[in-house]
Structure 1
């Protein structure tokens, strides 16, 4: 059932006063004995509603409700959301900081997650709310490594979004560098994947300090390394930093491709130039096995031709890729009366593709 849509006829008079941002009316209703714990169709109580208001005085509404003895700061909606989580998710200004401060003062639990296991800390990180992140991590009981249902932590999020100060703060508070999401990705991997070189630098520096250099090559579940994923996206600055820090540019994923394959297939000629300076072309070509197609060890020169990346082809030829190298024909594109060939050279491939 979807509990995101609000039905107005399920709101209490107290909730309506909150929705109107009317502090005077709210106080009157409470004095008159109106209930503060009535839920609407989403399972939201007036406290939930007050927590998401963007008006400058919404923290006063929250404070007023929390003074009532019947108010529980940790009430959860039908989707498991607390007022603290909603504030961190929906508000990004200084007003949110005040609201979070008040909720924590009234013993709101920063570790209560929603039905998808998202915590207030992760929500604040996703919202880019640095001040709330700072406030939450100072709380003595907060778990900075609590992950959502996909294994995603606040450090994953800050690294992915390029929030340098948040990343720095989380690391100082004990965020784990080796945390993996459901796809096996670490924060270093996600920073490289999204080209967040500043966050990548601080993550790698911390990994070196903790003697966790292995994380520079730690791949996802498909075996792709941080260098490989950065090559696929064309983030040359990330690749350069990773290699200079000791990452291996020659590693292969589970499907037999490496950084050269990915850069060539995606048309990142500048990335190719950098990688080819760090790799032995002849050694790489010697590992290609066109006679064993089940290994799927494709020739990257052929991939660049197939994808019509002329600049990549030029870079690879200048770097020493053999013009007479062959690749297994995985997809037959010939309509000849005689049986088609099993292997194809770069020139033949280019001709066959017009």
Structure 2
């Protein structure tokens, strides 16, 4: 049990520390440091140390005065028990406080040692200005000039090189209190914790499980909390381990008001995550509301909308691709009206016009063609046109649009358009025959006069392709359109032979 003598001994310890601190103030060592040593030498670290000294000195005086006032009341026996309990609670906090100020005493000894050398130095040319500033003892520390190289808002590790003065346990306790207050929406507790100089919001060492405080606040959806952190220089561009920024989190959370607020505060809508995806990409894919999509779209620079997401996303490299894949043609149209680029390719060299497999591809094709997409674009793998892709999927509706667009360009003839071959020699008619789409085969052969005699690099024609896949109606139609039943390929196999091999003997019937 603590007795008054133990408490009095503690007071003596605190008093001795106060004496040392008062000596520093009386001798004006801090002002001497400003006058005699140029700020460019180590101004940043010294300024932070000064701030820690001043804050801890004021806090120590406050605690000591409070303890002294309470001890005076112990002169009355009837109050002794009550006040001893109060002092027990106060002294629980005394140990880390003493450790902190022991560290301060060591720093003060260094200052006293440096004072001897400072007095021998020649005062620099700007001493008059510095002395005038030093003569204002009540001037707040924030008014002192900082070096021009100092940065008030940065994520660089070098900005957090101030000497550690506080006990690590105290620092961790403050951080825990800060994040609890952020999650519970307690603005007063957050404000109180941010007043401690050891809380640096942009320092990775202060993150909770690699999450900066600003991202935790955004996830709660509390705009006032985010605003408070920004007022204390929280970096709005900080990311989580997945590379997502505050704007990513707000848009994915469908927090429309938060998205508007962050954009107003200067959040970059073109910042990308670890997959190369921007907030607008996720919005285009349908991960946020129409309101947030429109806000992000109008905040986006037109030159940055079509920036590719890179190799990590080879299927949907831009927001336009994402909108198309998500079936959100309204958002795709908005992106196109905002000058999105229709010629962006994926890693296989395909443009969006090649993606003919979606349910919305027919409408998408019309939209892309109206915005200048080139139907003659070949991919990197098989030198295939969008027409080849549409034909092999039996998309008559898309083939009609593509063929019309191909000849409207005026660079090729109708025969060149309908009989165009890929790197394997396949024509659109062969692709349609392999798919077994009789309506498309009839359309190509009758409307566009597709050549049924053309062969691929293996010597196979459209009739052979239909026989090989067992598409009897298509084979019968092609046979009646001039295809030869006895024509062999480079391996010597005829359509009749391949039909018999696969059990399709009725093709040769009249």
Per-residue deviation at 1:13?
Answer: 4.0
Q: Is the 8 A contact 1:224 1:253 kept in 2?
A: yes
Provide the residue aligned with 2:348 in structure 1: 150
SS at match of 1:168: helix
| Preserved contact between residue 222 and residue 254 of structure 1 (Cα < 8 Å) | yes
Matches within 5 A, 1:75-86: 75-86=271-282
Residues 196-225 of structure 1 show CA distances to partners (whole Å, capped at 9, x for unaligned) of: 211111111222322343232222221111
Q: Which residue in the other structure is 2:89 paired with?
A: none
Select which of 266, 278, 297 maps to 1:104: 297
Question: Structure 1 regions of 5+ residues with no counterpart?
Answer: 1-7, 290-294, 320-354
With CA pairs under 8 Å and 6+ residues apart, which has the higher RCO, 1 or 2? 1
Q: In the alignment, does 2:430 pair up with 1:228? A: yes
Aligned partners of 1:9 and 1:251: how far apart in 2?
64
Q: Which residue of 1 aligns with 2:310?
A: 115
What is the CA-CA distance between 1:40 and the residue it aligns to? 1.5
Alignment TM-score, normalising by the size of structure 2: 0.53
Which of 374, 385, 399 is the matching residue for 1:186? Answer: 385
Q: How many residues align?
A: 288
C-alpha contact (below 8 Å) 1:14/1:26 kept by paired residues: no
Give per-residue Cα distances to partners, 1:269-309, cap 9 Å, x unaligned: 1111222221242xx62x437xxxxx22421121122222x
**1:254 Cα offset (Å):** 0.9
Q: 1:49 maps to what in 2?
A: 249
User: What does residue 198 of structure 1 align with?
Assistant: 397
More deviation, 11-20/267-276:
11-20
- Matching residue of 1:272: 475
What's 2:365 paired with? 167
Q: Distance in 2 between matches of 1:195 and 1:61?
A: 46
Q: 1:51 to 1:223 in 2, by over 3 A?
A: farther
Contiguous gaps of at least 5 residues in structure 2: 1-207
Matched, 1:29 2:220: no
Answer with 129-138 or 203-212: which moved more.
203-212
Return the index of the structure with the highest Cα Rg. 2
Give the SS at the match of 1:190. Answer: helix
User: Cα RMSD over matched residues?
Assistant: 2.3
Q: 1:253: which partner in 2?
A: 456
Q: Distance in 2 between the 1:165 and 1:257 partners?
A: 34
Q: TM-score, normalised by structure 1?
A: 0.74
Partner Cα distance (2:240, 2:492) in 1? 59
1:304 aligns with 2:487: no
Q: How does 1:278-289 map to 2 (within 5 A)?
A: 278-281=481-484, 285=486, 287-288=487-488
* Pairing of 1:340-351 with structure 2 (within 5 A): none
Higher-helix-fraction structure: 2
Instruction: List, as ranges, runs of 4+ consecutive aligned residues in structure 1 with deviation greater than 6 Å.
Output: none
Contact 1:191 1:200 in 2 (8 A): yes
Would you say 1:207 and 2:393 are equivalent positions? no
